[in-house]
Structure 1
Amino acid sequence: MDLEGIGAISAAAVAALGVSAAVLVGRWQMRGALRAAEETGRAGVAQAQSTYRAALDAVHTEADAAHLQWRRSIRRDAYAGFLLAMTRCVQAAEALPRGRLADTSEDLSAAKGELARARNDLNSALWVVKLEGPPAVANGAEGVSLLTFELADALARKAEFHRAASSLHHLSSSNPVAAELDAALMGLAVTVDEMGYNAQPGSGETPPREVTDGVERVRVLYGRLSDDIDTAEWVALLNEALNYLTNPQELQNQLSSTVEQLLPVCRQALDDQSRSGHDSPPSE
Structure 2
Amino acid sequence: MGQGSVSVVTVTFNSAHIVRTALSAFSPDVEVICVDNASSDDLDTALEGLNVRRINNPVNVGFGRACNQGLAAASGEFVLFINPDVVFEKDTLSALLDAAKRYPDCGVFLPLTRRPDGTLWLRNSAAGLRLQRKGRDDADQIAGDFCTQFLDGSVFMIRRSLFLEIGGFDENIFLYYEDDDFSRRLQAKKAPIIVVANANSSHAIGKSVPNSVNYNFNRNKHKKISEIYYKRKYNIRYSSSVDFVNHLLKVVVYAVTLDRMRLAGALGRLVGVFSHITKR
When you count strand as a share of all residues, which structure comes out higher? 2
When Rg is computed on C-alpha atoms for both structures, the one with the higher figure is: 1
- Identify the TM-score tier after normalising by the shorter chain: under 0.3
Larger RCO (CA under 8 A, 6+ residues apart): 1
* TM-score w.r.t. length of structure 2: 0.20
